[in-house]
Amino acid sequence: MDTRPLLASGFLAAVVSAAPATASVVRSIPVVTQVQGATFYRTSITLGNGSPTLTTPVDMMFSYRSPADGTFQIAHLPLSPDLGPHRVRFFDDIIQTFKDAGVLRAQDASQPLFGTLLLTYSALSIRAEANAVARTYSPADGGGTLGIAYASRCYCSTGSQQRVLGPGRSGVFGNDGSTRANLGIVNEGTGATDVRVTYYDGETGLQLKQFLASTVAHHVLEENEVVQFNSIFADAAIPSTTHTLEIQVEAVVPSTQYVSAYAVQLDNVTNDGSFFFLDQEE
């Protein structure tokens, strides 16, 4: 059983045992955003309570790096009212919800923001009763939206103290279109850490580049912080003839830290994306 404390929230979250009466369930969403990139991206959140009998408070904790001054910030927003049995709550732009609630610093309230979201359901009986899904989306030409959806994960199982591994690709791939890849890295543990990233050529297996995330982000990752590297194949160390990478991510400060990673494959024409977590070595 993973007994990591709930980081950076000012209190400890109880770890749910096999059959407690009630306990805290913590769900992790690796990235929420309201930012102008290739198009304007924002994130919706759908929360659910699967319990047939229990009403639970839900604390929403948004962690982000401020574009205003580069400091790492944490904001809490309790769900109101509490989430009743078999109830669902939806926010079409979760960062705007935090802004409208006045819980962000004044200098960040008008900024484009990008960070993580921890959801603490404090009075449920089993982990499966706490549900949360994110969808990051953007306007589509001709109307509607294009988006990627990803389910939250139990904080008890996010991150690895060893390697996190997965593939990425860039270029034209037949009927699958022309795509590029983004890489996101999340510090899922307690305390700040740097992260080592290694790229291997997917055709030859040769190592192309190894670097610390801090050399690109210009800071180590704080607790519950996400950093994203866009269009990773545009890196000068990646030859233009390389169209696939095997990616390896691991924490280095300290070596016992928990780190997770995700990739997004984006269509170069529509900017439509596909999200997936990299695999965690146990």
Structure-token match 């169209």, residue found = 243
Give the confidence band of 37 by pLDDT, cuts at 50, 70, 90: confident
Query: pLDDT tens digits for 229-274?
Result: 999 999 999 999 999 999 999 999 777 899 999 999 999 998 889 9
Query: Over 50: is that where the pLDDT of 2 sits?
Result: no
Per-residue pLDDT, 21: 74
Query: pLDDT tens digits for 171-189?
Result: 999 999 999 999 999 999 9
DSSP per-residue string spanning 21-40: SSEEEEEEEEEEEEEESSSE
Phi and psi at 94, nearest 5°, equal -65, -35
Domains in the chain (CATH in brackets) are 23-157 (2.60.290), 164-280 (2.60.290.11)
* pTM (2 d.p.): 0.90
Query: pLDDT tens digits for 219-228?
Result: 999 999 999 9
Q: Locate all alpha helices (DSSP H) within 58-107, ordered by sequence.
A: 94-101
Give the integer Cα–Cα distance in Å for 246 and 115: 25
Per-residue pLDDT, 7: 38
Give the confidence band of 275 by pLDDT, cuts at 50, 70, 90: very high
CA distances from 71 to 87, 117, 251 (A): 36, 17, 21
Radius of gyration of the chain (CA): 19
CB under 8 Å to 273, separation ≥6 — which residues? 136, 146, 147, 148, 264, 265, 266, 267
Asked if residue 50 lies in contact with residue 129, where contact means CB atoms within 8 angstroms, the answer is yes
